[in-house]
Amino acid sequence: MTVAVLFDANRCIGCRGCQVACKQWNENDEAIPTEENGVDSKNLGSNENPPRLSAHTWTRIRFTELEYNGKFHWVFTKVQCMHCEHPACVAACPVGALTKTAEGPVIYDDNKCFGCRYCMVACPFGIPSFEWEDPLPWIRKCTFCMERLNEGLEPSCVKTCPTNALELGEREELIQKARERIAKAPDKYVDHIYGEKEVGGTSWLYLSPVPFKELGFPELDSEPVTVDAERAMGAVAPVLLGVAATMAGIYWLCKRREKISQDKSTKKETLK
Amino acid sequence: MQRRHPFSIGTSILSILVILGLAVMIYRFVNGLGAISNLSDGRPWGLWISFDLYCGVALAAGGFTLAGAVYIFRLEKYHPVVRPAILTAFLGYTLVILALLVDLGQPWYIWHIIINWNVHSPLFEVGMCVMTYTVVLALEFSPAVFEGLNRSNLPVVRDINWRVPWGVIRAIQIPLVIAGVVLSTLHQSSLGSMLLMMPTTLHALWYSPILPILFLVSAIAVGPAMVIFESTLSNRVFGHRLETDILSGLAKIIPYILGLFLLLKFFELMAVGEIGLIFTAYPYNLLWWGEIIIGSVLPIILFSIPDIRQSRKGVFWTSVLVIMGLIFNRFNVSMLALGMRPGYVYFPHWMEFAISIGLVADALLVVWLAYRFLPIIQHEEMAEVKA
């Protein structure tokens, strides 16, 4: 039994209360982007703010305006770590600083990390961030509010959401719930629960009125991205033994051949 | 040293580059990676990973290929180039480690990899193998140091019997060489496995489940090319002259390995039905063709011409092509064809270049010192003394 969150874009009103709650709970202060603070403040032409995830912004609402099926849509989607069922970051991390917990969240341990950033490169959703400006930098990403879950509380974003666009629950039950919601209003939802199958499934599930591709969600196979790497790593032990044995064998053969040809030439000399 | 060597222009430039690199390194540790690099959340790995790690490790492959050829396959002909190859490999790996110490967010925790194992991570394997192999290379090279010390006339040093440690290393030489080949096979290929984690971000022209094999084969091909490149240059600078026979012998092997590499690349693309991409996937197909033509097709043709194999110039410049092709390939897979998060751009900061160039200058200075003070090319003296 693993926990998951279901996000319904038809319910989200783009209030960004989740962003604020996330920053407050995780004490993610960030300089307010003004010129006095030395941070460039730019109007990006939308109500989105901050413009992207960072080590101080673990979640944000993305705003998308588009026309779909002849109808105008203004869709809000929440972006954060997807807490994959088969996380690439966990497989990638050389020191095991990232782990997939039995409950579902993918969590990170400062005490093991040394800052190689392979997790950032490997993540198919482009989520983990790095404290680039800090001389003692760590990786930062959504924790699923693991410490709140342990106390029986909902993640701070879910707790804050005023419209139930975010719901915490058991993964299979939420998928069931999402199916029912699609079935009840097939004209309001595309028939796709994003995160049910993508990269082998994620702990965050999405419902949307428009195709997810239009919302900037990466199009991903149902196969976990870790499969090929796992297979390659499984070959390490046999390759190690195989190469060692082959090299020893070749050495022995070549040495023997050398000896035989030496013996022959000395024999010839003595015969003379 | 009886003769006084003036500090030449070349070494002065190298020293300046080394000092600049060091200064940038200090600046980096005070102000963080963001202050000296254009790396970002969208492009977390940049020039250092592509050049210093990916190219550095592959270009140092001459160490294990030559050691394997001479000590395991008993190809005695190449004995004169083994020691330079091992020295440059050792320096290459030292550079890789130094560059990683700059690139890691918190390099003072590098020992974490020794206690916190994630055996499923290709980077874990690369890290462990690079560390172990650097020690193996140091041991493989150590006889040259002992010979140098044995000859020296320094007060305390001359009283020590350097033949004892020399004899010990000589006794375990074959196990050392085998360990070197095994470790190299593992981590050269694991650098490819590292990319297997990115099936969605690495372009389909390069992404392939056989990336580890492609990485290993291309490293084996570039090893001898690097040895030709280095020994030709050191010939010019230090005046040791290698027999053309050795160079053309190495040149003769390379096309077979490159041919295997090409075949694997083409068959893999055909097997997954993506061969059409080499014409349609503009502009990435240009990078692909560039890498294939420079690094594989041209060298195979050129090295197959006997006249070119007999000419020092021909062998040298064709090796340069092989090396350039490999660098092209490693940059393609680890940077140019690897997708970025949307909304980001990356071009290395000048201080990123300063670090990489400074490290190369470090190595060149050490090579210069080694050729001057240690028996690199002729090294049979001690063996004769013993016998």
pLDDT > 90 fraction of chain A, expressed in percent and rounded: 84
Do A120 and B117 lie within an 8 Å CB cutoff?
no
Residue B147, domain CATH: 1.20.1630.10
Mean pLDDT of all residues in chain B? 91
Predicted pLDDT of residue B371: 79
Residue A57 DSSP symbol: B
Question: For B136-165, what is each residue's pLDDT tens digit?
Answer: 999 999 998 898 888 887 888 878 888 899
Model confidence at B383: pLDDT above 70: no
Element (H, E) at A204: strand A204-207
Q: What is the mean pLDDT of residues A171-197?
A: 96
d(C-alpha B376, C-alpha B143), whole Å: 10
Looking at the structure, tell me whether residues A196 and A259 fall in a common domain: no
Q: Across the interface, do B121 and A118 touch by the CB < 8 Å criterion?
A: yes
Say if residue B56 is in the same domain as residue B180: yes
B283: cis peptide before it, omega within 30°? yes
| B199–A contact, CB cutoff 8 A | yes
Looking up tokens 């061969």 gives B275
B181–A247 CB contact, under 8 Å: yes
Same domain, B279 and B157: yes
Q: Is B123 in contact with A91 (Cβ distance < 8 A)?
A: no
- Answer whether residue B379 is part of any domain: no
Query: Which residue range forms the structural domain that includes residue A257?
Result: 235-271
Q: How many domains does the structure of chain A reveal?
A: 2
Cβ <8 Å between A225 and B178: no
Helices (H), chain A: 17-25, 88-92, 118-122, 146-150, 156-160, 171-184, 227-234, 236-271
Judge whether B1 lies within some domain.
Answer: no
**B104·A258 Cβ contact <8 A:** no
- Identify whether residues A136 and A251 lie together within a single domain: no
Put simply, the answer to whether A137 touches B119 (Cβ < 8 Å) is: no
Which CATH number covers residue A165? Answer: 3.30.70.20
Mean pLDDT of chain A: 92
Q: Do A67 and A184 reside in the same domain of the chain?
A: yes
- Same structural domain, B287 and B324: yes
- Most B CBs within 10 A among A247, A253, A256, A257, hence the mutation to make, goes to A247
pLDDT at B2 over 50: no
Are A185 and A67 members of one domain? yes
Both A46 and A177 in one domain: the answer is: yes
Q: How far apart are CA A131 and CA B33, in angstroms?
A: 9
Asked if the structure places residue B299 within a domain, the reply is yes
Question: Measured between CB atoms, which of A54, A128, A254 is closest to B73?
Answer: A254
The answer to whether the Cβ–Cβ distance between A94 and B113 falls below 8 Å is: yes
In chain B, at which residue ranges do the beta strands (DSSP E only) sit? none
Do B23 and B84 lie in one domain? The reply is: no
On whether both A199 and A118 belong to a single domain, the answer is: yes
Residue B380 lies in a domain: no
Residue span of the structural domain in which B57 resides: 39-338
Token digits for B241?
Answer: 């002259």
Residue type, B60: A
Nearest-CA distance B208 → chain A (Å)? 9
Same domain, A133 and A256: no
Please say whether the beta carbons of B80 and B377 come within 8 A.
yes
In total, how many domains does chain B have?
Answer: 2
Could you tell me which of B384, B353, B387, B382 has the C-alpha nearest to residue B161? B382
Residue A230 lies in a domain: no
d(CA B99, CA B47): 10
The percentage of chain B sitting over the pLDDT mark of 70, rounded to a whole number, equals: 95
B194 → chain A, closest CA residue: A229
Statement to judge: residues A170 and A261 lie in one domain: no
Note whether A195 and A152 are same-domain residues: yes
Q: Is residue B178 part of a domain?
A: yes
3-state SS, residue A107: strand
B196-254 pLDDT per residue, tens: 999 999 999 999 999 999 999 999 999 999 999 988 888 888 777 778 889 999 999 99
B166 and B130 in one domain?
Answer: yes
Residue of B nearest to A249 (CA): B72
- Estimate to the nearest angstrom the gap between the alpha carbon of B290 and the chain centroid: 21
Edge-to-edge strand ranges of the sheet holding A3-8: A166-170, A3-8, A204-207
Same domain flag for A10 and A92: yes
**B56 and B14 together in one domain:** no
Q: Is B198 on the interface with A (CB under 8 A)?
A: yes
B310 & B332 share domain: yes
Helix (H) or strand (E) holding A6: strand A3-8
Q: A with B: how many residue pairs have Cβ under 8 Å apart?
A: 181
